[in-house]
């Protein structure tokens, strides 16, 4: 039976993913890499360094920078992102999510944030969701980020549940792959075609209700 809900953050709990995308686009353009919708889609859920590596690879310039130069570029990207983040507040929670979290809490389910982001604890605070998320996976302690299973395996471990008792929810392809690799039931939020590897895809966060999820996994 489902006891734990493991949530990705950007694109599931809040729409601040667009701020990541904007900060990455600025970074890509400074590096001379042309921004495309495909790059934007591929970056969903990748961690900071992996995202930068992806952009450099698309531009064919991955060998032109040393590790410390890459770290400096990634740090500048984060600075840009943190500027956008200053304005984040409870109105940035995606539609239906507050209701879902309140229902989950009332029904005694466990919840945790399984995001690739190092900024996740700060964002949960700014969104006013600390009452639901007392647990957030610390990605800096993991060997591999999404699409590897580590984040979702750690989430189940922190909830003290077996992966078979958890569902993972993500809006990105690498996130869905991470959930699947962890052997958890995977719920995608977004485009069915892009997220076709998920066990079930809901078009929007407003479709994420306990009843809909239970119905899908009867
Ligand atoms: C993911 C976003 O949730 O977090 C990525 O989809 C972002 O775009 C990643 O790069 C890492 O976030 P942070 O806050 O650690 O730089």
Mutate to test the pocket of ligand 1, among 16, 23, 46 (most ligand atoms within 8 A of CB): 46
pLDDT band (50, 70, 90) for residue 17: confident
- Is it true that the peptide bond before 24 is cis, omega within 30 degrees of 0? no
Q: What is the pLDDT of residues 131-190, one digit of tens each?
A: 999 999 999 999 999 999 999 999 999 999 999 999 999 999 999 999 999 999 999 999
Distance (Å) from CA 118 to ligand 1 centroid:
7
Q: Percent of the chain at pLDDT above 90? A: 94
- Closest by Cα among 54, 216, 218, 210 to 147: 54
Give the number of the atom of ligand 1 that is nearest the alpha carbon of residue 8: 3
Complex confidence, ipTM: 0.95
**CA triple 205-145-213, angle to 5 deg:** 25
Mean pLDDT across the chain, nearest whole number?
96
């Amino acid at each position: 039976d489902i006891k734990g809900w493991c949530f990705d953050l950007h694109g599931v709990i809040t729409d601040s993913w667009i701020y990541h995308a904007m900060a990455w686009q600025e970074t890509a353009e400074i590096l001379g890499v042309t921004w495309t919708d495909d790059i934007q889609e591929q970056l969903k859920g990748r961690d900071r360094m992996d995202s930068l590596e992806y952009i450099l690879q698309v531009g064919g310039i991955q060998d032109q920078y040393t590790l410390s130069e890459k770290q400096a570029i990634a740090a500048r990207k984060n600075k840009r992102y943190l500027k956008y983040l200053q304005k984040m507040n409870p109105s940035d929670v995606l539609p239906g999510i507050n209701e879902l979290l309140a229902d989950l809490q009332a029904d005694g389910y466990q919840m945790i944030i399984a995001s690739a982001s190092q900024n996740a604890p700060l964002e949960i605070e700014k969104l006013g969701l600390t009452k639901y998320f007392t647990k957030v996976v610390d990605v800096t302690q993991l060997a591999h980020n999404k699409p590897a299973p580590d984040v979702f395996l750690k989430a189940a471990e922190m909830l003290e549940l077996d992966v078979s008792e958890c569902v993972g929810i993500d809006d990105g392809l690498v996130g869905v792959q991470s959930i699947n690799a962890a052997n958890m039931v995977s719920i995608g939020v977004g485009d069915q075609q892009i997220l076709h590897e998920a066990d079930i895809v809901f078009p929007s966060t407003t479709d994420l209700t306990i009843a809909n999820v239970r119905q899908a996994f009867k």
